[in-house]
């Protein structure tokens, strides 16, 4: 759920690579809001690290690592309406958590009967908790909060005894433990695990930490996940039993990690509260937690956690609408900032428009917003990058690059920005903007450009608007002429059209975004087994994109960079004016057995934007049941 570890390492590597430190804020921009005080160059913190090491190798994480790539850290949507903004006079709540697609899906629909009454919604198998759903009195949903809950530290080894590391009080021995890893048909391996006061020591290969670690040092990581007594699950169970918004907020006091925004509605009130531990940092922290910092300096170390009351909360807003798309929620100065890294600056723009277009909302208008596929990014960037290209080309014979460029621009000129699976324009736009970013950063960052697998909309906008000199990115340093941003836009469009021709053919009008944007619900174990993979993997043509409310995050790499690999595996909309009209769906089915008809029977409903009803009325649920399964423990 957190991408902060990678974000810190990447910022350090880019800082080492760029000769102009002013450009760091372009390629790794802050979410819109108040400015951030200048940070030191990473090389100033650790002079022994060289740029040669920083760009040495791609930032690959181990497949078993709990830390996901930053682009694939948790995301989600949730929004709520108070009775004053509801057509039927009851509160409304919609939630669709975004995670990596798998078959079977991570989510499982269930109804749990508690002493306090029934709860219904989305669970994760093995956890006795409805994580997003409703009871008779309360509805709740989750979105990733992007709290800065990780810090990377560079620890100095004792040159006379590498079993010790430097602390503010002198050298101290690592806490160590041996772990034996048994391997089938091979000898077991013994590894030595080490801890510092800040956290566990990580190998240099993890996220390419070795590239930013000077000789004679190691890297460690602090995380709220390392709390010795994690009461998160107990807190989630208390939320299920709550009868009101305030009770639920109080119940989440003991929630630790991963940090979430908890959106709540009861019969009368709507609210959102950030739950989870927030580290207490010193105001004099050298990097403000944005880059790895020296672990032996006291000001860089965590001083416990902030009180729960410091977590952002919004209760009964005057406008009657609240929500979160992983966007920046508060604008506080460091060290009470919550985060410098947020998961969205784009979807929230479309959400605001859809919410404010209506005086009152219904269950169906919330569903419409949940399934919206209009890209605010495309609407903002296309007029900007194509300003010197629209309608300015001379007549060109068919079959020439100039003619193909004209055809592409003609299609995009009449496009609404809807990332519809049946249209060619989303594919042309996505390929163009991807090629453009690569052209802008390749000569500046070299191999490090490979780390930017997804388009950074704020970066492209800064460059084309020349915000604080950001147009420098458009000039190719290695060439004698001075290229403009519009030169780069034209060249990138030609790059994109050549890629499309080689991959999909030359007939632009017949392209389908859905062919390139297939949802990949792959089985994590059997998905690569020859022949069997055709039975266990579920592939679907889908709409949406990286920055649409119906989010379909693209893979970003490989021969199929636009495959849809991360999105809403669960959708739910709860209407407290008529609770039994609430609807739910997951992206695959209820069974984990690929020969069961329930393995993928919800997949097509999910793809078409359809839902199923679920009820807390036991008799109503049984009346529509296709069968009953009983699990009885052995005597």
Q: Residue 39 has what pLDDT?
A: 36
Q: Residue 272 has what pLDDT?
A: 96
Tens of pLDDT, residues 468-527: 999 999 999 888 899 999 999 999 999 999 999 999 987 899 999 999 999 999 999 999
Q: Is 171 inside a domain boundary?
A: no
Greatest mean pLDDT among 21-35, 366-380, 446-460: 366-380
**515: number of Cβ within 10 Å:** 14
Q: Residue 35 has what pLDDT?
A: 33
Q: Is the pLDDT at 394 greater than 90, yes or no?
A: no
Contact 115, 161 (CB under 8 A): no
| Among candidate residues 545, 496, 499, 501, the one with its CA nearest the CA of residue 519 | 545
Which residues, 6+ apart, have CB-to-CB distance to 289 below 8 Å? Answer: 4, 8, 148, 151, 279, 281, 340
Contact 370, 585 (CB under 8 A): no
Q: Residue 189 has what pLDDT?
A: 93
Percent residues over pLDDT 90 in the chain? 78
Q: Is 496 inside a domain boundary?
A: yes
Q: Report the C-alpha gap between 462 and 465 in whole angstroms.
A: 5
| 121 burial via Cβ count (<10 Å: 0-12, 13-18, 19+) | buried
Q: Is 481 inside a domain boundary?
A: yes
- Torsions phi, psi of 190, nearest 5? -105, 125
Give SS3 for 133: strand
Q: Is 433 inside a domain boundary?
A: yes
| Domain containing residue 428: CATH number | 1.10.1400
CA dihedral 288, 163, 192, 302 (to 10 degrees): -20
Q: Residue 42 has what pLDDT?
A: 43
| Range from 53-62, 101-110, 364-373 carrying the lowest mean pLDDT | 53-62
Q: Is 15 inside a domain boundary?
A: no
Which residues, 6+ apart, have CB-to-CB distance to 341 below 8 Å? Answer: 3, 4, 7, 70, 146, 148
Q: Report the C-alpha gap between 140 and 272 in whole angstroms.
A: 9
Domain span including residue 491: 376-416+424-511
Q: Is 384 inside a domain boundary?
A: yes
Number of domains in the chain: 1
Q: Report the C-alpha gap between 332 and 327 in whole angstroms.
A: 14
464 CB-side CA count, 13 A: 22
Tens of pLDDT, residues 426-444: 999 999 999 999 999 999 9
Q: Is the pLDDT at 617 greater than 70, yes or no?
A: yes
> Could you tell me how many helices (H) and strands (E) the chain has, helices first?
17, 25
User: Cα–Cα distances in Å, from 506 out to 408, 563, 595?
Assistant: 11, 20, 40
Encoded tokens for 317: 């807003």
Q: Residue 50 has what pLDDT?
A: 57
User: Across the chain, what does the average pLDDT equal?
Assistant: 91
Give SS3 for 588: coil
Tens of pLDDT, residues 539-565: 999 999 999 999 999 999 999 999 999
Tens of pLDDT, residues 551-606: 999 999 999 999 999 999 999 999 999 999 999 999 999 999 999 999 999 999 99
Encoded tokens for 70: 């930053």
Determine which helix (DSSP H) or strand (DSSP E) holds 134, and give its type and residue range. strand 132-135
Helix 485-504 to helix 457-465 angle (10° resolution) is: 140
Alpha helix ranges (H) inside 265-344: none
Which residues, 6+ apart, have CB-to-CB distance to 228 below 8 Å? Answer: none
Q: Is 463 inside a domain boundary?
A: yes
Q: Report the C-alpha gap between 431 and 497 in whole angstroms.
A: 8
Q: Report the C-alpha gap between 460 and 332 in whole angstroms.
A: 26
Q: Is 336 inside a domain boundary?
A: no
User: Cα–Cα distances in Å, from 602 out to 70, 226, 532?
Assistant: 29, 37, 21
Q: Is the pLDDT at 92 greater than 70, yes or no?
A: yes
Q: Is the pLDDT at 390 greater than 80, yes or no?
A: yes
């Amino acid at each position: 759920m957190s991408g902060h570890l990678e974000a810190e390492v990447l910022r350090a590597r880019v800082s080492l690579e760029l000769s102009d430190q002013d450009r760091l804020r372009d390629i790794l921009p802050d979410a819109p809001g108040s400015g951030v005080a200048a940070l030191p160059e990473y090389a100033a913190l650790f002079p022994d690290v060289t740029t040669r090491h920083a760009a040495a190798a791609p930032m690959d994480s181990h497949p078993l690592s709990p830390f996901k790539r930053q682009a694939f850290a948790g995301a989600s949507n949730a929004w709520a309406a108070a009775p004053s903004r509801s057509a039927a006079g009851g509160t409304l709540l919609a939630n669709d958590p975004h995670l990596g697609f798998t078959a079977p899906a991570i989510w499982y629909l269930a109804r749990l009967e508690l002493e306090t009454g029934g709860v219904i919604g989305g669970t994760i198998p093995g956890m006795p908790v409805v994580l997003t759903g409703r009871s008779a009195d309360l509805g709740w949903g989750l979105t990733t909060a992007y709290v800065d809950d990780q810090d990377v530290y560079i620890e100095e080894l004792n040159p006379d005894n590498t079993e010790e590391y430097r602390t503010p009080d002198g050298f101290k021995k690592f806490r160590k433990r041996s772990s034996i890893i048994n391997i089938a048909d091979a000898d077991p391996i013994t590894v030595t695990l080490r801890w510092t006061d800040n956290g566990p020591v990580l190998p240099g290969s993890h996220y390419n930490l070795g590239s930013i670690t000077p000789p004679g040092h190691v890297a460690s990581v602090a995380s709220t996940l390392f709390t010795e007594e994690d009461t998160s699950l107990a807190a989630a169970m208390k939320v299920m039993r709550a009868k009101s918004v305030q009770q639920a907020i109080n119940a989440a006091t003991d929630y630790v990690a991963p940090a979430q925004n908890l959106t709540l509605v009861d019969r009368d009130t709507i609210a959102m509260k950030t739950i989870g531990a927030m580290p207490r940092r010193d105001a004099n922290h050298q990097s403000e937690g944005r880059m790895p910092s020296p672990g032996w300096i006291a000001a860089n170390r965590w001083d416990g956690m902030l009180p729960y009351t410091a977590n952002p909360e919004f209760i009964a807003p005057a406008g009657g609408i609240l929500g979160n798309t992983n966007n920046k929620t508060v604008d506080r100065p460091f060290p009470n900032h919550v985060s410098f890294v947020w998961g969205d600056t784009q979807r929230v723009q479309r959400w605001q428009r859809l919410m404010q277009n209506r005086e009152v909302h219904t269950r169906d208008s919330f569903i419409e917003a949940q399934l919206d596929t209009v890209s605010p990014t495309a609407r903002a960037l296309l007029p900007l990058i194509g300003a010197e290209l629209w309608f300015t080309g001379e007549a060109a014979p068919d079959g020439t690059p100039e003619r193909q460029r004209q055809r592409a621009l003609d299609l995009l000129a009449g496009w609404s920005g809807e990332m519809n699976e049946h249209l060619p324009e989303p594919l042309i736009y996505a390929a163009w903007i991807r090629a453009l970013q690569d052209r802008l950063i390749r000569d500046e960052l070299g191999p490090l450009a490979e780390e930017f697998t997804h388009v950074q909309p704020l970066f492209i906008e800064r460059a084309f608007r020349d915000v604080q000199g950001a147009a420098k990115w458009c000039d190719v340093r290695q060439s004698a002429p001075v290229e403009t941003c519009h030169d780069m836009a034209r060249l990138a469009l030609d790059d994109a059209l050549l890629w499309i021709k080689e991959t999909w053919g030359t007939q632009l009008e017949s392209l389908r975004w859905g062919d390139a944007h297939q949802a990949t619900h792959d089985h994590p174990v059997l998905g690569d087994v020859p022949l069997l993979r055709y039975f266990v993997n579920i592939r679907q043509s889908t709409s949406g994109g990286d920055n649409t409310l119906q989010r379909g995050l693209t893979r970003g790499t490989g021969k199929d960079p636009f495959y849809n690999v991360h999105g809403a595996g669960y959708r739910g909309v709860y209407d407290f004016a008529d609770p039994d009209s609430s609807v739910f769906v997951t992206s695959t089915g209820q069974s984990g057995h690929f020969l069961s008809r329930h393995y993928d029977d919800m997949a097509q409903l999910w793809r078409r934007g359809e839902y199923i009803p679920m009820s807390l009325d036991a008799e109503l649920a049984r009346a529509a049941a296709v069968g009953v399964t009983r699990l009885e423990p052995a005597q």
